[in-house]
Structure 1
Amino acid sequence: MPVQQIDTAVHREVIQKLSEKLKANYVFPDVAEQICVRLQKQLDNGDYAHLTNGKHFAYTLTKLLQSVNQDEHLWVRWHPDPLPDDEGSLLRNEERIVALREQARLENYGIHKVERLAGNVGCVDIRYFYRPSLGSGETAVSAMNFLTHTNALVIDLRQCRGGNPGMVALISSYFFDGEPTHLNSLYWRDEDFTQQYWTLPYVPGQRYGDKPVYLLTSPTTFSAGEEFAYNLQTRQRATLIGEAAGGAAHPGSPFCLHPHFEAFIPLGKAINPITNDNWEGRGVIPDIAITPEKALSAAYRLALGSIIESIGKPLSHPLAKLLDEAQAALAKIDVHSE
């Protein structure tokens, strides 16, 4: 049976290892020191003595870690089954890698829906930016090629949990011309190294051009989803609609603290080339603030309006037909909002 109960010896072991990992790896050394002082003080005061359930202990530690500077990438998790015991094996563990590949495939590599809405508005629902090496690149390219002939695009990030900056760069590349554009940088404390991410000089298929793009955000929008939104917003390539995103801009790595306890510790921080800042703690702030439930309708209305305006007086039968379709869709939205 999986281990359920823990004691004060486990408390001491986990906190000692957690403090060591924080001091050696956390991207903000001064904050790491503050956290470690608080961890030790609460341990000495016996504040954890009543926590005999591993899951509850991990939750309590996570609340403390995040209370210092609201870093939602900083957490502790309890596992009922033993973790690999060698350093770094959490990243290299073959079972985890196989499971991640299967999860990515079953989630259609994070792209849950691609469709053409009435009025020739494209819509794509991205729930996760899976690493291209997992096989997600082909799916992303197929989605973008499906959308390339729409006149405006809505990208739904309201349920996007995060992902990989390489996939963010790949999809972003469709919204810029062939000249590489600097999207974001990541500074890594452990190597004292800054890694840059740029749009690609070549993409399979056609780029989306300068057609209108609307991004939907919510408090659930997290990490790489926020980076994608922040990158396009700061480059004035998209209009953000919804509520402020989660506020997590510090990528990191898992560490084993104990056979049943894992920590995730941010090793780096995002640095946007336009703002020289990031969205940590405050989230990506939308251009148009509205509840997430109403964000899609609001974006769709704006997209249709832009299409109707761009058509003007139609010069061909296909454009006249599209104008009628867009006007009918807009009227339907207005009726439903009354």
Structure 2
Amino acid sequence: MITNEEIIGQALDRISAGYVFPEKAVVIDTAIRGRLAAGAYEGLDGPALCEAVTADLQEACPDKHLRLLWTDEPQSLVPQDEDGGEAAFLASMRAENQGVQRVERLEGNIGLIELNRIATAPEGASVIGAAMQLVALSSALVLDLRGCLGGSPEGAAMWCSYFFPDDQVHLTDIYDRTTDTTRQFWTTAHLPAPRYADRPVYVLTSEITFSGGEDVAYTLQAHGRAVVVGATTRGGAHPTARHAVAEHILVTVPQARAVNTVTGTNWEGVGVVPDVPVPAAQALDTALKAALRRLEAQPESGAATG
């Protein structure tokens, strides 16, 4: 049976090899090995071990993506089976309708889309397109990300693409330490539903909005394409890979960082700060009232068809 020392050692090796800031990985390694030597994890197993190590990881380096995770589903420990958690993520997205939880038409011809995850672009495109098709004739749109816990950078770029007129907008860049490369993310040229580039958009956030959800909110806000309403988000801007270090334990290693093309930075550690700060529970009502006022002030701005 694998020991706690072996589990933690493997996790630290993964962090040292892949964490986006190598100098911080050294600090993390020293801190956790010191805790291990002091007997901090003796007698712990399963979720309790993961919780204790995660707390110490984030004390050494306050990156909310840096975690030891317990999973009920057994994980393969064969190196060639490793995919950074992609297969598990894709399966969860299929089970959750690619993150789209609700689509409605509200009073005043205002569309509402609620997301709990950001799907990958290839697998999520048809569902994302179906949601956007349903709101295509609305006069304003509310994108509810209050319960959105993360997802795919490519999917975030696809969602954002709907709110710009073409494929000429450079949204963000992501630097990946493991490959020492920077990938540019631009608006998508071809979308399966009409663009929503000419009408008001409101994005709702909460204290639990995280990662990919923050990406959409931050990008649309930075490019002046949406008004963010709600609470400041959690602050996790580092794309992350997952590695099995035991049959039921994963280490999540933030191996990349986002750089917004407008701000030159990202939301790591600070969150997305709303344009209209209100308690998350009041965000929808606040956004709807703002949208109705805006539409009433522009009576000629009807819904577009494409």
TM-score normalised according to structure 2 size: 0.92
Quick check: 1:143 aligned with 2:131?
yes
Residue 245 of structure 2 corresponds to which residue in structure 1?
257
Q: Percent identity?
A: 34
Quick check: 1:160 aligned with 2:148?
yes
Quick check: 1:218 aligned with 2:210?
no
SS in 1 for 2:268: coil
Residue 266 of structure 1 corresponds to which residue in structure 2?
254
Residue 39 of structure 1 corresponds to which residue in structure 2?
32
Question: In 2, are the aligned partners of 1:13 and 1:258 still within 8 Å (CA)?
Answer: no
Q: Over residues 50-91 of structure 1, what are the superposed CA-to-partner deviations in whole Å (9 max), with x where a residue is unaligned?
A: 32x322111111111111232111111234664312225242
Deviates more, 1:106-115 or 1:28-37: 106-115
Residue 186 of structure 2 corresponds to which residue in structure 1?
198
What does 1:26-105 align with in structure 2 at a 5 Å threshold? Answer: 26-51=19-44, 53-79=45-71, 82-87=74-79, 89-91=81-83, 97=87, 100-105=89-94
**Inter-partner Cα distance in structure 2 for 1:150 and 1:138:** 20
Question: Which of 91, 105, 111 is matched with 1:122 structurally?
Answer: 111
Quick check: 1:281 aligned with 2:269?
yes
- Offset, 1:100: 4.8
**Inter-partner Cα distance in structure 2 for 1:137 and 1:57:** 38
Residue 6 of structure 2 corresponds to which residue in structure 1?
13
**Inter-partner Cα distance in structure 1 for 2:84 and 2:266:** 29
Q: Which has the larger radius of gyration?
A: 1
**Inter-partner Cα distance in structure 1 for 2:71 and 2:113:** 35
Q: Does 1 or 2 have the higher relative contact order (CA < 8 Å, sep 6+)?
A: 2
Deviates more, 1:191-200 or 1:162-171: 162-171
Q: Over residues 217-238 of structure 1, what are the superposed CA-to-partner deviations in whole Å (9 max), with x where a residue is unaligned?
A: 0011111110000000000110
TM-score normalised according to structure 1 size: 0.84
Structure 2: which 5+ residue stretches go unaligned?
Answer: none
**Inter-partner Cα distance in structure 2 for 1:244 and 1:261:** 30
**Inter-partner Cα distance in structure 1 for 2:261 and 2:228:** 19
Q: Which has the higher helix share?
A: 1
**Inter-partner Cα distance in structure 1 for 2:72 and 2:276:** 44
- Offset, 1:252: 1.6
The 1:100–1:250 alpha-carbon spacing in structure 2 relative to 1, beyond 3 Å, is closer
SS in 1 for 2:287: helix
The 1:40–1:185 alpha-carbon spacing in structure 2 relative to 1, beyond 3 Å, is same
**Inter-partner Cα distance in structure 1 for 2:102 and 2:28:** 42
**Inter-partner Cα distance in structure 2 for 1:92 and 1:77:** 14
Q: Give the number of equivalent residue pairs.
A: 303
**Inter-partner Cα distance in structure 2 for 1:208 and 1:191:** 35
Deviates more, 1:220-229 or 1:259-268: 259-268
SS in 2 for 1:31: helix
Question: In 2, are the aligned partners of 1:27 and 1:268 still within 8 Å (CA)?
Answer: yes
Question: In 1, are the aligned partners of 2:77 and 2:245 still within 8 Å (CA)?
Answer: no
**Inter-partner Cα distance in structure 1 for 2:111 and 2:172:** 26
Quick check: 1:176 aligned with 2:169?
no
SS in 2 for 1:91: coil
**Inter-partner Cα distance in structure 1 for 2:11 and 2:253:** 9
**Inter-partner Cα distance in structure 2 for 1:61 and 1:164:** 26
The 1:156–1:10 alpha-carbon spacing in structure 2 relative to 1, beyond 3 Å, is same
SS in 1 for 2:250: strand
**Inter-partner Cα distance in structure 1 for 2:157 and 2:74:** 36
Quick check: 1:291 aligned with 2:279?
yes
Q: Over residues 14-71 of structure 1, what are the superposed CA-to-partner deviations in whole Å (9 max), with x where a residue is unaligned?
A: 22212211111111111111111111111221222232x3221111111111112321
**Inter-partner Cα distance in structure 2 for 1:127 and 1:159:** 5
The 1:224–1:92 alpha-carbon spacing in structure 2 relative to 1, beyond 3 Å, is closer
Q: Over residues 105-140 of structure 1, what are the superposed CA-to-partner deviations in whole Å (9 max), with x where a residue is unaligned?
A: 332211111111111111111111111333x21111
**Inter-partner Cα distance in structure 1 for 2:191 and 2:134:** 14
The 1:78–1:103 alpha-carbon spacing in structure 2 relative to 1, beyond 3 Å, is closer
- Offset, 1:205: 3.5
Quick check: 1:108 aligned with 2:101?
no
Question: In 1, are the aligned partners of 2:233 and 2:271 still within 8 Å (CA)?
Answer: yes
